Amino acid sequence: MSSYLCAIGTANPPHRIPQPQIADFMAAALELDERDTRKLRALYRVSGIGHRYSVLPDYARVNGDFEFFPNTPGLEPFPAVGRRMAEYRRFALPLAVEAVQACMEQLPEVELHSVTHLITVSCTGMYAPGLDIELVGALGLPGHVQRTCVNFMGCYAAVNGLKLADAFCRANPQARVLVVCVELCTLHFQKSREDDHLVSNALFGDGAAAVLVKATSAAHQPSLALTAFHCDLEPDGHADMAWHINDFGFEMTLSSYVPRMIQDGIGQLTQRLLADLPVELADIRAFAIHPGGRKILESIEQALGLSAHDNRYAYGVLREYGNMSSATVLFVLAQLMRELTAADNGAPVLSFAFGPGLTLEAMLLTVAAENVKNEVNVGSMENEANVESKLGVLSEAS
């Protein structure tokens, strides 16, 4: 018995800010001299990010007139945790609702009131009664819907949400599970010149993603069967990727050693995932990898012998959105799903996500498109040759 990821909806706040503009804000906020400003701008240029989204317009306002940060030299008094959590509560619900609506619009055969389980995922804000209860009211879900919160697990948390959804569907074939990831990372800008903070300030953006998982595939579009999961820990990275609540927001530790640790561990993780399955790495032509950063993607390519083209969905999401923590891998899967056709039925998809611990999560998914007409699902594709060039040889594995 399988469970199926039937649709993914995504949403971002209205403020889409070019990466160089954010670099200018950061240089001014940190009161950097000319030399350090040049170094900071170089860091932003090589990040692989073109734009990021934020619930705060301030990152586009170098010369002040801020709405969240104080309009003072050095942004003092710097906003404390309480102020940041008030903004999280203000913005998280509408962004989550928008993502759910985008998801459910793809599944006209499924009514929202038929949802049996709601899983909310976030590491950038918490309150109670929380986002899960507010979503029940905002979406008109029944009060008896079973709610589960996955909090503070970082960038890999969406995989844990999908594991729960898979277990619910396997236990009850009538289950319809809504998984909602909401991350407002830009609320946690740290005014620090430490390397970890400079890097995290350069990577993270805001976004939400919603997924519907059920025991049968979608009626009119490709789905992804949740075939297998595997988790592993790299204990040596315990202090190299971490997430702590401090007086002025949530502080990310992201050391320069993380890409190497992931590179060293990703091969073994993949072997263990596929060990009991009739699939080998050479059979896989579609990948949905969490773009924790450009160096992380390049390290995985080197370890597994992948090309940048294999990683195109991850690079595309990194370029357009940055790292949105738990929501990011769902954005990558959404990009992949938009290009699937009936010809891809049965093709395996390998997905990875990473987070504090250092935790390495892997998923194997299988394209389920047997009931879908052999049509292109994305308007930008003009013909079958173009489809083949964009999907690579994904259909060879079907």
In the structure encoding, which two tokens stand for residue 75, read together?
Answer: 């942004």
* 3-class DSSP state of 65: coil
C-alpha to C-alpha distance for 274 and 111, rounded to whole angstroms? 36
The catalytic residues are 155
Paired residues of 180 in beta bridges: 120, 210
DSSP string computed for 240-268: TEEEEEETTEEEEEE-TTHHHHHHHHHHH
State the DSSP string of 278-326. Answer: S--GGG--EEEE--S-HHHHHHHHHHHT--TTTTHHHHHHHHHH-B-GG
DSSP 346: T
Can you state the percent helix, strand and coil of the chain, rounding each to 5? 45, 25, 35
Strand, helix or coil at 225? strand
Q: Which region holds residue 140: left if phi is over 0, alpha if psi is between -120 and 50, else beta? A: left
Nearest to 231 by CA among 348, 359, 364: 359
Backbone angles phi, psi at 394, to 5 degrees: -55, -40
CB proximity list for 265: less than 8 A, separation 6 or greater: 232, 234, 358, 360
Residue 237 Cα to chain centre, angstroms = 21
